[in-house]
C-alpha cells in the first residue's frame, strides 16, 4: 500500500471512530491526533465520502499587464535606466497607467 493510500485510510478510520463515538475529543484521544486535525477532516467530509480537497484557488489571478504596458516598461527601462519605482511613477505621470512596483519587477523579470 502506498503512503498516500495509508494516509487516506487513516483519515477514513478517524472519521469512522468519530462517527461511532459521537465525540471529537474522545475520537481524537483514541486515534492519537489533535482535536483540530479531526475537526479539519470532519469539515472536509463531503456528502458522498471522505475526499481531499485541494487548497488551490478556484480562480487564478489574471495577468496584470498586457503587451502595450510591457513595451512601455521596457522602453522606459532602456531609455531612462529607471528602477521599478521610478518606472511606476513615470508611467503614471506620462501615460496615466497605474501599476505597482512588484508588477513592474515581475514584468522585467519575465523579460530577462
Domain range summary for the chain, segments of one domain joined by +: 3-43, 67-110
Task: For 30-45, write each residue's pLDDT tens digit.
Answer: 989 999 988 888 888 7
pTM comes to 0.47
- List pLDDT tens digits, range 62-112: 776 788 999 999 999 999 999 999 999 999 999 999 999 998 998 888 876
Q: Residues 4-62: pLDDT tens digits?
A: 888 888 888 988 999 999 899 999 999 899 999 888 888 887 654 545 555 667 777 77
* Distance in angstroms (rounded) separating the CA atoms of residues 51 and 42: 11
Q: Is 14 exposed, middle or buried (0-12, 13-18, 19+ CB in 10 A)?
A: buried
- CA 37 distance to own-chain centroid: 20
Distance CA 29, CA 33 (A): 7
CB 41 within 8 A of CB 7: no
Amino acid at each position: 500500500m502506498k503512503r498516500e493510500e495509508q494516509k487516506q485510510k487513516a483519515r477514513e478510520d478517524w472519521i469512522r471512530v468519530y462517527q461511532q463515538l459521537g465525540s471529537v475529543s474522545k475520537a481524537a484521544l483514541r486515534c492519537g491526533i489533535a482535536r483540530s486535525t479531526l475537526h479539519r477532516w470532519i469539515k472536509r467530509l463531503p456528502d458522498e465520502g471522505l475526499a481531499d480537497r485541494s487548497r488551490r484557488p478556484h480562480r487564478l489571478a489574471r495577468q496584470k499587464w498586457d503587451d502595450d504596458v510591457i513595451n512601455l516598461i521596457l522602453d522606459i527601462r532602456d531609455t531612462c535606466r529607471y528602477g521599478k519605482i521610478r518606472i511606476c511613477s513615470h508611467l503614471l505621470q506620462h501615460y496615466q497607467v497605474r501599476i505597482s512596483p512588484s508588477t513592474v519587477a515581475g514584468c522585467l523579470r519575465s523579460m530577462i
